[in-house]
Structure 1
Amino acid sequence: MGRFCGFLAGIAAISLVAGSLFGATAHAAPAVTAKQAHCEVSSGREAQRAAPARAGFDAELLDAALEFASHRNRLNIQVFRHNCLVGEGPNNAKTDNVAWNVWSVTKSVVSVLAGIAWDRGLLDLDAPIDKYLPPGLGDAAHRAIKVEDLLTETSGMTVGVLTEGITGVVPIDPHSAVQALAVPLDNPPGTVFSYSQRNVDLLTFVIELAIGEPFQQFAQRELFDPLGILRSDYYWAKDRAGNTYGYAHLMIPPNDLAKLGLLMSNEGRWGADQLVSEEYLRMALTPSQANPCYGYLFWLGPDCAESPSFMPPDMYMMAGLGLQNVFVLPSLDLMVMWTGVFGNVSSQGVSGIVQNTDELPYEFFRMLFAAMPENPVPDPGPYVEPPVRLDPRRFVDPNLLLAVFGIGPAAYPGCNVFSCLNYPLAPPFADIAPGCFIVVCLGHDPRTPGIH
């Protein structure tokens, strides 16, 4: 459901930007055969490449799969096997280094950072967030939520995916974590999966309190710097109190996003360094008791979110609105990253497009697996579209929107668009970098000189 975040506000802008760009659980990787290439990960600007045949692909069939996806609004496509970049979309030269909002893929990046903090003994996953929150902030029920509940989306918070996200898309949120502490709890924490956006905003706030330094400073030093992701490459939006959004709004180039995918496919290792422990990733990639498709902010297994039903059982992915995806298939030592603007087709109108987002990955991976002479997955046949069962009411809760203005049962007392407790607030829209508009950054800005 993370792919619905900001849908109503963002879809027109996404299409406009796309048009302007193109006006014209962890498993050991399989052994690499002597005939197949293996590459080393690189913190430089370019990934190591190998010819498709050296990584177990028929070059013509692989090109056909990439061409197919490019005609389905995939603005950037990268296929890696054995750490080698073996396939690229025909538009990659235009988009490789363009910062793009990866929406709910941001959640998975937050999970990795939570793991790094846990590895260093700074964050206790079993602790209630009461351990980290300032005294008096939030009631007892919210303070009893555990860090792991936030990671598994089982905080119990009421969900209104669109109305939760819209005030970040149109940046007026005074303090997203304080707002989260007023969202009504529909279920006891730790019991029921409920895909809340505010849930992950609260998590980034808790992590920042636990580590004792700005969240993005920690992220840059502990994760992005080792990967060679420059601070000038990306833009990660904050609310008006300076808290980093966790649910979305990491604007990062595809070349850098691919590095994050390679880190995951290498079980947290980057060359000689273990950036996030295998122990944490085992927990992160284990389904929670509340949802067999979800771990610690990662989607797990076939037939979950955008994952086709015929995928290997050990696959997992990062997934965001509009089909921003990182697919990791450990048993095949395969990683696919793509960004774009939906591109799935439906005979059932907009509701079908929003619901059946697995159509495009289904047809692409059919072609991709057919390009592998080893035939790792038998052809399941063409996609069969299920009937629309989408209920728009699941994504809208007006109380969550009114709360930003200090109105209604979901409002935190003393926190609204005009003031929030004693936190200094920047003016609305203050955190948007020039040249960035909801989905993409195209202009120059002294804070992010690498974005162009």
Structure 2
Amino acid sequence: MVGAAAVALVAGGAVAAGARAEDDVRCLVSSAREFERARPEAVGLDTDRLNDALRFAKDRNRLNVQVFRNDCLVGVGPGNELTGGTPWNIWSSTKSVVSLLAGIAWDRGALDLRAPIDKYLPPGLGDTGHRSITVQDLLTEASGLRVSAFTEGITGVFPIDPNSAVQALGVRQDHPPGTHFSYSQRSVDLLSYVIELAINEPLQDFAQRELFDPLGIRRSDYYWARDRSAHTYGYAHLLIPPDDFARIGLLVANEGHWGTMQVVSSDYMAMARTPSRTNECYGYLFWLGPGCAEIPDFLPHDTYAISGLGLQNVFIIPSLHLTVMWTGIFGNISRQGLAGAVQNQAELPYEFFRKLLAAFLHPPIPDPGPYIEPPAEVDPRGLIDTDMLLAVFGIGPDAYPGCNVFNCLNEPLAAPFSDTPPGCVIVVCLGSEAPGIRE
């Protein structure tokens, strides 16, 4: 199905003299289950070359790929029919969803981005240093908390975290808040808790009503994991179907606008896409600009992305009116072993976008040539921090007093996996009783 402008073009088969099809064809986003579609040629792309890019992505472990131009779905991966309705862990792309919720709470006047979290935390929870962290510090990953990405995440993958927000308040601060970028997982768990306190209701209830419902994402579509104190994880563990993940990407690409609704204000979206003081590649839990995270370095300067482990991405290029969503299991190729595979995640996006931009009837940039892999500098051994792992058991300098896997601040803890619905295991939800899109 195509929008009114696309119908006029595709049915009529012609455009005004001197006009380009891609300037005239537009589709509408809505809460309907199906995206509006257009022929690739109607939006300035060659079908055969576009399909070549999509086949390349499939051969590189991309389980689902969706290419939009002017909000029209113009290209889908060969396996999309099998995977589009299946919830998949989008890992750190969850962070960008939390950013959208922070924006909605800010729009409602419930959340002050400049305020220290002291304003929202219960009295006595956390020390002065942690309570001085601002909401904006959490949004820009400038909390100053010590980072060990693998160790911070493993206790959520094997769900033994007693209370991820309280655990964050026990992690040492290596830097004063607001002075240093450090990609902390715990800090976004803390942010999701702060938003919940600010709005005075469970985060997922707020998310469903204010964000997912307007987009046509049903509560039965997805699973968003909670820790054993029932606090929603912010850093990862939103398992959502690619068809719904694409909706979130289109909302962002449309500056928070969806149909007749402004779901998130354009003012907030502009701030979210503004480089932070501590990292020019990072805004409010979004990656910004070519060469940042997995964004190929030859793409236009206004490119930004939602990014998760294993290459769960939405790439948005406003100047090309282009949005690409994909999910899968890594797929990048490195000649430098594990260190190269961990560090150099841009190889697959680079080669895919070479092919995709070559599919334009009027290519916007010259071919940048093959990917050249930089030297690996990451030491995989540095991904594990023993102190942070022991903290979950109430041991060591990163433990919060009175919080461990058996008890946290004298509050009852649910059993591990008790929050997990049937058929959901870490990465995916499968089976007739599992969440997912059924029609």
Tell me if both proteins adopt one fold, taking TM over 0.5 as the criterion. yes
2:171 alignment partner, one of 175, 179, 183: 183
For 1:236 and 1:114, how far apart are their aligned partners in 2? 17
The residue that corresponds to 2:383 in the other structure is 395
Following superposition, the deviation at residue 394 of structure 1 comes to 3.9
**Pairing 1:47-66 to 2, within 5 Å after superposition:** 47-66=35-54
Runs of 5+ consecutive residues of structure 1 not aligned to the other structure: 1-30
- Cα displacement string for residues 162-214 of structure 1 (whole angstroms, at most 9, x for unaligned residues): 11000000000000000000000000000000000000000000000000000
The alignment's C-alpha RMSD in Å is 1.4
The 3-state SS of whatever aligns with 2:348 is helix
2:348 alignment partner, one of 360, 384, 387: 360
The residue that corresponds to 1:420 in the other structure is 408
**Pairing 1:93-112 to 2, within 5 Å after superposition:** 93-112=81-100
Following superposition, the deviation at residue 351 of structure 1 comes to 1.9
The residue that corresponds to 1:75 in the other structure is 63
Following superposition, the deviation at residue 378 of structure 1 comes to 1.4
2:282 alignment partner, one of 272, 286, 294: 294
Q: Which amino acid aligns with 1:240?
A: R
The residue that corresponds to 2:73 in the other structure is 85
Runs of 5+ consecutive residues of structure 2 not aligned to the other structure: 1-18
Going from structure 1 to structure 2, the CA distance change for 1:451 and 1:198 (only over 3 Å counts) comes to: farther
**Pairing 1:51-450 to 2, within 5 Å after superposition:** 51-445=39-433, 448=435, 450=437
For 2:21 and 2:36, how far apart are their aligned partners in 1? 18
For 2:22 and 2:409, how far apart are their aligned partners in 1? 63
Following superposition, the deviation at residue 284 of structure 1 comes to 0.6
Q: Which amino acid aligns with 1:339?
A: T
Following superposition, the deviation at residue 434 of structure 1 comes to 1.7
Q: Which amino acid aligns with 1:420?
A: C
Following superposition, the deviation at residue 43 of structure 1 comes to 0.9
- Runs of 4+ more than 6 Å apart: none
The 3-state SS of whatever aligns with 1:76 is strand
Following superposition, the deviation at residue 422 of structure 1 comes to 2.9
For 1:103 and 1:248, how far apart are their aligned partners in 2? 4
- Check the 8 A contact 1:442/1:451 in 2, yes or no: no
Going from structure 1 to structure 2, the CA distance change for 1:341 and 1:34 (only over 3 Å counts) comes to: closer
437-446 or 253-262: which moved more?
437-446
Going from structure 1 to structure 2, the CA distance change for 1:34 and 1:175 (only over 3 Å counts) comes to: closer
Q: Which amino acid aligns with 1:122?
A: A
Q: Between Structure 1 and Structure 2, how many residues are aligned?
A: 421
For 1:403 and 1:433, how far apart are their aligned partners in 2? 28
- Check the 8 A contact 1:346/1:356 in 2, yes or no: yes
For 2:21 and 2:381, how far apart are their aligned partners in 1? 51
Following superposition, the deviation at residue 443 of structure 1 comes to 2.4
- Check the 8 A contact 1:444/1:451 in 2, yes or no: no
Following superposition, the deviation at residue 300 of structure 1 comes to 0.2
The 3-state SS of whatever aligns with 1:60 is helix
The 3-state SS of whatever aligns with 2:315 is strand
Following superposition, the deviation at residue 35 of structure 1 comes to 6.3
Q: TM-score, normalised by structure 2?
A: 0.94
Q: Alignment identity in percent?
A: 66
For 2:258 and 2:66, how far apart are their aligned partners in 1? 19
- Check the 8 A contact 2:55/2:78 in 1, yes or no: yes
Following superposition, the deviation at residue 391 of structure 1 comes to 2.0
For 2:372 and 2:74, how far apart are their aligned partners in 1? 30
Q: Which amino acid aligns with 1:344?
A: N
Following superposition, the deviation at residue 72 of structure 1 comes to 0.3
Q: Which amino acid aligns with 1:329?
A: I
The 3-state SS of whatever aligns with 2:156 is helix
For 1:204 and 1:449, how far apart are their aligned partners in 2? 24
For 1:390 and 1:444, how far apart are their aligned partners in 2? 42
Q: Which amino acid aligns with 2:362?
A: E
